[in-house]
């Protein structure tokens, strides 16, 4: 039994999610205490509990402490089973983070899986669906597994979004090399408004074009009513030879359209100036699958 102090480091939910992912992929049990101790609302929230329950279902696990607000969790995995699964966060909590929790184990399982996850698809402090689709998963596919996702409904606050994923696992991960990003092939920006006026998105793409000195033809506006609540997000996309990176700015009450666009531009500028192959958030997301690929899964899960 591996014991984890959840108050160490960043003291948030990522420690729990990483522990669940690694436990499923390696078959090692763990007990985590002081879950999310450094957050204003400590313990398991709906998003974290959904990840625990999803991991428990696909991993045939024995679990203690899987209740809202719990600060201690014991997780003893069994055999990972491929199949058809459905998870619902029930709030605006991130559906993409739930997906990334269970993905590593299903990438090395025996047999294909289909997953539908409901919840927030475009959240602050979580990879939005567009980044999952355009940035993270294309790199995951270079490791060997085939993973495809499809957005069914936007999930801004208060949630209600949904996406579908198909996963075809592989027996052994291939190596990945991301020493540099390579030549930049394209730069585009998109502003999405759900149940909001178009002029918000227009101001945002105008701001991106001015701040980054990009041509107006590379600016896109997406209007949708396929969302329970109103929502707004700006994406700045940089396509390079080796990968695509996407940087986002989130709209919220009291924040101007220009400020939302500026947030995305600032992140893109930092990335372009750094010369790094990947941005800081993508680097975090790749650590766990690359660790499994580098050492090889300790045992293929079935």
Q: CA 82, 125, 76: angle at the middle one, nearest 5?
A: 35
Residue 259 tokens, joined:
């400020």
Position 293 confidence tier, pLDDT thresholds 50, 70, 90: confident
The number of C-alpha atoms within 13 Å of 211 and in the hemisphere containing its C-beta is 21
Q: Do 2-177+281-295 and 184-277 fold alike per CATH? A: no
Place of tokens 């920006």: 189
Q: Are the C-beta atoms of 229 and 195 separated by less than 8 Å?
A: yes
Residue 62 tokens, joined:
């024995």
Q: How far apart are CA 61 and CA 84, in angstroms?
A: 17
pLDDT above 60 (res 54)? yes
Mean pLDDT of 72-92: 96
235 against 300, higher pLDDT: 235
Mean pLDDT of 269-293: 93
232 against 216, higher pLDDT: 232
Average pLDDT, the chain: 95
Cis peptide leading into residue 141 (ω within 30°): no
* CATH code given to domain 2-177+281-295: 3.65.10.20
Q: Give the SS3 label for residue 297.
A: coil
Contacts of 13 (CB under 8 A, 6+ apart): 36, 39, 45, 47, 48, 97
Report the pLDDT value the prediction gives residue 171, as an integer from 0 to 100: 85
Report the pLDDT value the prediction gives residue 295, as an integer from 0 to 100: 61
Q: How far apart are CA 208 and CA 191, in angstroms?
A: 10
Burial label for 7, CB within 10 Å (0-12, 13-18, 19+), is middle
Position 262 confidence tier, pLDDT thresholds 50, 70, 90: very high
Report the pLDDT value the prediction gives residue 297, as an integer from 0 to 100: 46
pLDDT above 90 (res 257)? yes
Position 259 confidence tier, pLDDT thresholds 50, 70, 90: very high
Element (H, E) at 24: helix 13-26
Residue 243 tokens, joined:
């990968």
Q: How far apart are CA 201 and CA 232, in angstroms?
A: 8
* Tens-place pLDDT, residues 127-184: 999 999 999 999 999 999 999 999 999 999 999 999 999 999 998 898 888 889 999 9
Q: Give the SS3 label for residue 84.
A: strand
Domains of the chain, by residue range, sit at 2-177+281-295, 184-277
Q: Give the SS3 label for residue 86.
A: strand
Report the pLDDT value the prediction gives residue 225, as an integer from 0 to 100: 97
Q: How far apart are CA 116 and CA 150, in angstroms?
A: 10
Beta strand 73-76 pairing with 62-64: antiparallel
What is the pTM for the complete model shown? 0.94
Residue 241 tokens, joined:
């030879």
Q: Count the Cβ atoms, other than its own, within 10 Å of residue 156.
A: 27
Place of tokens 């690694």: 22
pLDDT above 60 (res 56)? yes
Contacts of 158 (CB under 8 A, 6+ apart): 91, 92, 228, 229
* Tens-place pLDDT, residues 84-123: 999 999 989 999 999 999 999 999 999 999 999 999 999 9
Beta strand 30-33 pairing with 73-76: antiparallel
CATH architecture of 184-277: 2-Layer Sandwich (3.30)
């Amino acid at each position: 039994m591996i014991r984890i102090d959840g108050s160490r480091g960043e003291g948030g939910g990522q420690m729990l999610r990483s522990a669940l992912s690694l436990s499923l992929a390696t078959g090692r049990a763990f007990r985590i205490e002081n879950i999310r101790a450094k957050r204003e609302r400590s313990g398991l929230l709906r998003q974290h509990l959904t990840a625990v329950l999803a991991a428990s279902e696909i991993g045939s696990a024995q679990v203690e402490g899987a209740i809202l607000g719990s600060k201690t969790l014991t997780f003893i995995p069994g055999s990972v089973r491929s199949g058809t699964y459905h998870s619902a966060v029930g709030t605006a909590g991130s559906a993409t983070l739930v997906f990334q929790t269970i993905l590593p184990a299903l990438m090395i399982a025996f047999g294909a899986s289909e997953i539908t996850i409901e919840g927030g698809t475009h959240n602050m402090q979580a990879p939005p669906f567009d980044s999952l689709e355009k940035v993270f998963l294309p790199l995951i596919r270079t490791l060997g597994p085939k993973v495809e996702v499809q957005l069914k409904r936007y999930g801004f606050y208060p949630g209600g979004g949904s996406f579908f994923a198909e996963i075809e696992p592989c027996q052994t991960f291939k190596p990945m090399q991301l020493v540099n990003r390579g030549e930049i092939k394209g730069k585009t920006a998109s502003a999405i408004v759900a149940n909001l006026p178009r002029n918000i998105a227009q101001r945002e793409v105008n701001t991106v074009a001015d701040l980054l000195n990009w041509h107006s033809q590379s600016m896109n506006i997406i209007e949708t009513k396929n969302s329970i609540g109103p929502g707004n997000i700006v994406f700045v996309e940089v396509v390079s030879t080796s990968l695509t990176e996407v940087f986002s700015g989130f709209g919220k009450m009291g924040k101007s359209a220009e400020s939302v666009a500026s947030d995305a531009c600032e992140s893109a500028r930092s990335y372009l100036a750094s010369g790094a192959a990947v941005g800081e958030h993508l680097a975090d997301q790749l650590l766990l699958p690359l660790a499994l690929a580098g050492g090889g899964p300790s045992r293929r899960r079935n």
